[in-house]
Amino acid sequence: MLKRRSKRRYLSIKHAGEPGDSVNAIIKRFSELFGSIAAEKANIRLVQHAENESIIKCRLEQLENLLVAITLMDPPIVTIGMSGSIKQLRRRGSRVVGTK
Amino acid sequence: MREAAIYRLRTPPSGAVNYPYLIVSENINQPGDLLLIRDFYKVKKELKKKIKKGTGLELTVSPTRKMDGSSVGKWFKSLRELYAFCHASRCQFILSSGARSEYEMVSGPCLDAILKVGGIDPENHWRNLGEWIEERLSRNVSYA
């Protein structure tokens, strides 16, 4: 049987401060709202970042919860775009360059 | 003045204007097109008695940013109950960002996600809201 890779979504976000800190804050808020198990399942990771703008990824099945967690962040974080591939996200206008 | 923007005014303009607007109020005794609901449970009884059919009842996302997990849970409960109340009293449920700057703005998919987590069908909600806004704006038309 084929072992398929789980589907994921890439999100372009705009934030204040360090990208790593912002992603940790998102994971913390996600755990607070939906629980640690859901947060682990979401597998939220920082993929690329530029000044005040980053690309993060998560598992598709937890996308809605992630969007809610991002919306309820303080200080605010804005979701700019969302796609199944980084390439498509860039095409849609994300300014994030290829720095990991 | 920005195109495709609907202005939120506290009082109706005295003369004819060139833009679409809605009258927003926080006072149940003086509801305009929209009544801003800060705490649904505090005003529920009064709302039942005084609210007019067709009024928009607005809940904003911005206060939840400062809430802890359990308070956010209660907020989602109030969102569901306000939606049910609007349905029963023929009012229009409105969920908005409550943004005071561009950094607090909330995208469509994020609002959809909040509605879904709150047990509300986003497609149905936006369709009803679109119809309600059209109907309300047609009443308020007073182009100069």
Q: Are B46 and B28 in contact (CB under 8 A)?
A: yes
Q: How far is A80 from chain B (nearest CA, A)?
A: 8
Mutate to test the interface with B, among A71, A80, A94 (most CBs of B within 10 A): A71
- What pLDDT does B15 receive? 83
Using CA atoms, how far residue A5 sits from A10, A50, A63, B22, B100, in Å, is 15, 28, 16, 49, 41
Task: Say yes or no to pLDDT of A100 above 50.
Answer: no
Query: Both tokens of residue B134?
Result: 């059209």
* A32·B64 Cβ contact <8 A: no
Q: Which residues of A touch B105 (CB under 8 A)?
A: 78
Shortest CB distance from B113 goes to which of A14, A64, A73? A64
The verdict on a CB contact (< 8 Å) between A65 and B117 is yes
**Inter-chain touch A78–B107, beta carbons under 8 Å:** yes
Q: Give domain limits for chain A.
A: 9-91
Q: What CATH class does A9-91 carry?
A: alpha beta
Tokens 């005014």 appear where?
A: B9
SS (H, E, C) A85-100: CHHHHHHCCCCCCCCC
Q: How confident is the model at residue B2 (pLDDT cuts 50, 70, 90)?
A: low
For residue B2, being part of any structural domain is answered with no
Looking at every residue in chain B, the average pLDDT score rounds to: 91
A39-70: per-residue pLDDT in tens? 999 999 999 998 889 999 999 999 999 999 99
CB of A32 less than 8 A from some CB of B: yes
Report the C-alpha gap between B59 and B93 in whole angstroms: 8
Q: How far apart are CA B39 and CA B37, in angstroms?
A: 6
Q: With an 8 Å Cβ cutoff, is B134 touching chain A?
A: no
Of B72, B102, B107, the CB nearest to A33: B72
Indicate yes or no: CB of A64 within 8 angstroms of CB of B107.
no
Residue pair B125/B93 in contact by the 8 Å Cβ criterion: yes
Q: Compute the distance between CA of residue B72 and CA of residue A68 in angstroms, rounded to an integer.
A: 11
Could A68 and B103 be called an inter-chain contact, meaning their C-beta atoms sit closer than 8 Å?
Answer: no
Q: Say what the pLDDT of residue B88 is.
A: 95
Asked if the bond preceding B31 is cis, omega within 30° of 0, the reply is no
Tokens of B64: 């939840």
Q: CA Rg, chain B, in Å?
A: 15
Nearest-by-CA chain B residue for A73: B65
Per the structure, the complete domain to which residue B121 belongs is given by: 7-140
Token representation of residue B21: 């607007």
Q: What is the pLDDT of residues B76-135, one digit of tens each?
A: 999 999 999 999 999 999 999 999 988 899 999 999 999 999 999 999 999 999 999 999
Is position B13 within any domain? yes
Strand order in the sheet with A8-14: A45-50, A53-59, A8-14, A78-83
pLDDT at position B3 is 63
Q: How many structural domains comprise chain B?
A: 1
Burial of B1 (0-12, 13-18, 19+ CB in 10 A): exposed
ipTM above 0.90, yes or no: no
Q: How many residues does chain B have?
A: 144
